Amino acid sequence: MNNLKGDRNLYIAALLLCLALFASCTAEKESMYKKSRMLMDTFVTITVVSGSADEADEAIEKAFSSIERFGGLINFFSDKSEVAEINRKAGMSAVKVSPATIDIVERAVYVAAKSGGAFDPTVGPVTKLWDFTKKKKPSGVRIRNNLRLVNYKNIIIDRDRQTVFLKEKDMLLDLGGIAKGYAADLAVINLQGNGIKSGLVAVAGDIRAFGSRPDGGEWKIGVKNPRQKNGSDEIIARISLSNKAVSTSGDYERYFFINGRRFHHLLDPKTGYPAECCRSVSMIADEGVFADGFSTAVFILGPEKGLGLVQSLGMDAIIIDNNGKIHATPGLEGRFEIEENH
Amino acid sequence: MQSRDRYRIALLSAYAIALHGFESLLPTPIPWLRLGLANIITLVALLLYGFRTAMMVTLIRIIIASIFRGTFLGPAFILSFGGGVSSTIAMGLAYKISRNLFGPVGLSLIGAVSHNIAQLALAYVLFIQRIEAVLIISPVILLIGTLSGVTNGLVSDFLIRNILKKDGDKFQDLARE
Amino acid sequence: MRRRALKEDLRLKKIIKNITLADWTLLLVLLVVSVAGIFITKEALPRGTDVTIEINGEPAYTFPLNVDRTIPVSGSYGDTLIEIKEGRVRIREAHCPNRICVKQGWVSKGVIICLPNKILVIVGSGGGDKPGKEIDAVTG
């Protein structure tokens, strides 16, 4: 009997140990929740890290609505947007707009000034001459005519009165080159406001990451190969980052060929013709709006001048030049990896 | 082999095959639910007549049943074979090493668990080759194995008692072999 | 009748008594391990965004989970119908002996396995199978 009692105690001890082990394993685990939606005429995907599916779902929905609202304000193609109103009143009167619009216009002007006009939100009058779906190249005369209207310095922002005014009649403000990055910023702020600590917002190729993956690592972003060999999402390089934004401008998004020459949508505001030094530029910055704007600016400037600008801004970039050579800034060392087959 | 042994093995195998067939006729409300009723016979054979008889009964049951169902040497057979053999070996070992530690219920549990582990390992090596898939289903299979293991153990216990009581001395001697 | 019931009762008590401490321990450990395991694997699973169908251990198709469709896949037991609907996937029709896969019903994470047909339906979240090589988003 005594022997049995000793056994019993041993068993109970072992049992308690097992229970304790398992109790410590079942602590709440965070996982990734991912949702996609068509917003601002593009595919928006939000990934969040959360311990609860309901919390994640609610936060993602709210972030989607914030993007949708913002998209309504700055949509170049909608008559009801504030940007459309600014364009209608060009050369006539200042237009009172919402704080978000003032904010993004200010940033657009900042990017334009920093890049010496390589990025210009008033390139619209030239852009509209090019038709990339009908593959039409406009005449040099028409381009030269409309180039006169392109000048970001003619955007007058009045912070006090909350107005934006375009000085010249027929000027066009188009925030398309900066809006997706800004939308990603908005969504991130919205998610953080709703208690989300980590996540990833991708408005098409304009991505902003905050916090870390559930495994504690950084977010992994693939950079699309500008010359796809097979499949539509072939990746040329990958970057790991957290609390950063990345945007890519590439000559492969909208383009057509005439006599083997590629005409794409990234027009140099100085010449009115596509800039030809790069295939793609991926810009890494703290804010999505700057990643988006400066990726276009660096693309227009070309690898040499572009890298100079990137360094002066203290940002990072991956530039694939028109020979397919990949240039990366030193700041990316250790967090940037070229795919094996390149 | 004595003729009494042969007779016993044949009879037990017949019971096992019948149970096996009966089980496959039962509607299963939960996927992955396998009662492993035939394990009752293996366990009874093990406790009353020893390891050799138990193994013979298991092998005969698996082979004959798979021939009946037309799965002989197919994937289902390999899984069934691996599970049955390893479960019998595990129960035999546990019984031999610790005669008094585990009763029929514990032995039945050991059998059920080794049956599950062997099947999952075989399924992984031969068919699935995705460790996450195996990891996802294994706790569910283990839980069901545990529940059916307990039931089978209780039934075995009951059967053994009855046989011992009915056939009294004749079987008690054999049981102590 | 009463006497018989009493007799049954006694018999059952005997059986329960014959369960040793080791039996109880083993039973408890197994229950705890399996139940904890179910919860752990359930929590550890990311909610999927796409469905990968593997045939004979080879990935054959990948479809997004948010686009409804029905995919016929041929295996050892004729055609198996896999249905994706409203962010979930199930095996709608199969001709394997037990049809465990069909009974498993709709899933939005995890896997459905049809061993006889050697078909594996995996709900995953993009990227690929190489761990550490997956990508969260693509820029460009």
For chain A, how far is it from start to end, CA to CA, in angstroms? Answer: 75
Measure CB to CB from residue C36 to each of A26, A53, A235 and give the nearest one: A26
- Can you tell me the distance from the alpha carbon of A275 to that of A298, in angstroms, rounded to the nearest whole number? 10
Q: What is the largest CA-CA distance in chain A?
A: 108
Sheet holding A31-39, edge to edge: A31-39, A42-50, A198-203, A206-210, A244-250, A278-285, A316-321, A326-328
- Closest chain B residue to C121 measured between Cα atoms? B133
Mutate to test the interface with C, among A18, A236, A266 (most CBs of C within 10 A): A18
- Looking at residue A47, its pLDDT comes to 92
C125/A28 CB distance under 8 A: no
Which residue of B102, B104, B136 is in closest CB contact with C41? Answer: B136
Q: Chain A contacts of C44, Cβ < 8 Å?
A: 29, 31
pLDDT for C126 beyond 60: no
pLDDT level of residue A64 (50, 70, 90 thresholds)? very high
The count of C-alpha atoms lying within 13 angstroms of the C-alpha of B76, restricted to the half-sphere facing its C-beta, is 18
Classify residue C86 as exposed, middle or buried by CB count within 10 Å of its CB (0-12, 13-18, 19+): exposed
Calpha distance A319→A329 (Å, rounded): 9
Q: What percent of chain A has pLDDT over 70?
A: 89
Angle at A209 between CA A207 and CA A211, to 5 degrees: 175
* Neighbours, chain A (3 or more CB pairs < 8 A): C
Has residue A315 got a pLDDT over 90? yes
Rounded Cα distance between B36 and B38, Å, is: 5
What confidence tens digit (pLDDT) does each residue in B45-67 have? 998 888 999 999 999 998 988 88
Whether the CB of A50 is below 8 Å from some CB of chain C: the reply is no
**Shortest Cα distance from C138 to chain A (angstroms)?**
5
- Inform me whether the C-beta atom of residue C32 falls under 8 Å from chain B C-beta atoms: no
How many other C-beta atoms can be found within 10 angstroms of the C-beta atom of residue A198? 22
CA of C87 vs chain A CAs: smallest distance (Å): 11
What's the rounded Cα separation, in Å, for the pair C90 and A253?
A: 37
Antiparallel, parallel or unpaired: β C88-93 and C78-85: antiparallel
Residue A109 confidence class, pLDDT cut points 50, 70, 90: very high
Query: How far does A218 lie from chain C, in Å, by closest CA?
Result: 10
- pLDDT average, residue stretch B95-106: 83
Chain C CB contacts of A14 under 8 Å are 25
Alpha-carbon distance C5 to nearest alpha carbon in chain A (angstroms): 33
Among the partner-chain residues A11, A22, A248, the one whose CB lies closest to the CB of C139 is A248
| pTM of structure | 0.55
C20 touches chain A (CB under 8 A): no
- For A226-306, strand residue ranges (E) read 235-241, 244-250, 255-258, 261-264, 278-285
**Number of cross-chain residue pairs from A and C with Cβ atoms under 8 Å apart:** 94
Q: Convert A93-112 into a string of H (helix), E (strand) and C (coil).
A: CCEECCHHHHHHHHHHHHHH
Q: Contact, A315 vs A284, CB < 8 A?
A: yes
Q: For residue range C71-80, list pLDDT tens digits in order.
A: 888 777 778 8
Select the residue of A34, A213, A282 nearest C139 (Cβ to Cβ).
A282
Chain A residue with CA closest to C109: the answer is A33
Instruction: At A332, list the tokens.
Output: 């990316």
Cβ-count burial of A278 within 10 angstroms (0-12 exposed, 13-18 middle, 19+ buried)?
Answer: buried
Report the pLDDT value the prediction gives residue A20, as an integer from 0 to 100: 44
Segments in A1-52 forming alpha helices (H)? 2-25
Interface test with C, best of B33, B142, B144 (most C CBs within 10 A): B142
Count contacts between B and C (CB, < 8 Å): 108
Three-class DSSP category at A139: coil
Closest-CA residue to B91 (of B39, B129, B142): B39
Q: C110: closest CA among A35, B136, B33?
A: B136
- Whether A220 and chain C come into contact, CB under 8 Å, resolves to yes
Which residues of chain A does C36 touch, with a Cβ-Cβ cutoff of 8 Å?
22, 25-26
DSSP lists the bridge partners of residue C138 as A222
Mutate which of C12, C20, C23 to test chain B, going by most B C-beta atoms within 10 A?
C23
Q: Which chains sit next to C, with 3 or more Cβ pairs under 8 A?
A: A, B
Q: CB contact, 8 Å: A51 with chain C?
A: no
List B50's β-bridge partners, or say none. Answer: none
A294 touches chain C (CB under 8 A): no
* Strand residues in chain C grouped as ranges (E): 50-55, 58-64, 69-75, 78-85, 88-93, 110-114, 119-124, 137-139
Is B40:B155 a contact under the CB 8 Å cutoff?
Answer: yes
Over chain A, what is the mean pLDDT? 87
Segment among A24-28, A86-90, C118-122 with least mean pLDDT: A24-28
CB pair distance less than 8 Å for B76 and C97: yes
For residue A24, what pLDDT is reported? 39
* Residue C28 touches chain B, beta carbons under 8 Å: no
Residue with tokens 């294994």: B138
Interval A35-47: pLDDT, tens: 888 898 888 999 9
Q: Is the CB of C22 inside 8 Å of chain B's CB atoms?
A: yes
Q: Does the distance separating the beta carbons of A221 and C47 come in below 8 Å?
A: no
B142 touches chain C (CB under 8 A): yes
pLDDT tens for residues B112-121? 999 999 988 8
Q: How far apart are CA C51 and CA C88, in angstroms?
A: 9
Across the interface, do B136 and C31 touch by the CB < 8 Å criterion? no
Residue A303 makes CB contacts below 8 A (sequence gap 6+) with A277, A278, A319, A321, A327
Q: Which of B68, B102, B151, B165 to mutate to test the interface with C (most CBs of C within 10 A)?
A: B102
Choose, out of A3, A8, A15, A247, the residue to mutate when testing the contact with C (most C CBs < 10 Å): A15
Interface check A130 vs C, CB under 8 A = no
**Strand A163-166 relative to strand A219-224, pairing:** unpaired
Find out whether C86 and C71 touch, Cβ atoms under 8 Å. no
Interval B66-95 mean pLDDT: 86
- Are C138 and A223 in contact (CB < 8 Å)? yes
What average pLDDT does the segment A197-203 reach? 95
pLDDT digit string (tens) for A13-57?
444 444 444 443 433 457 788 888 889 888 899 999 988 888 898
- C-alpha span between C4 and C8 (Å, rounded): 6
Whole-number Å distance between alpha carbons of B9 and B2: 11
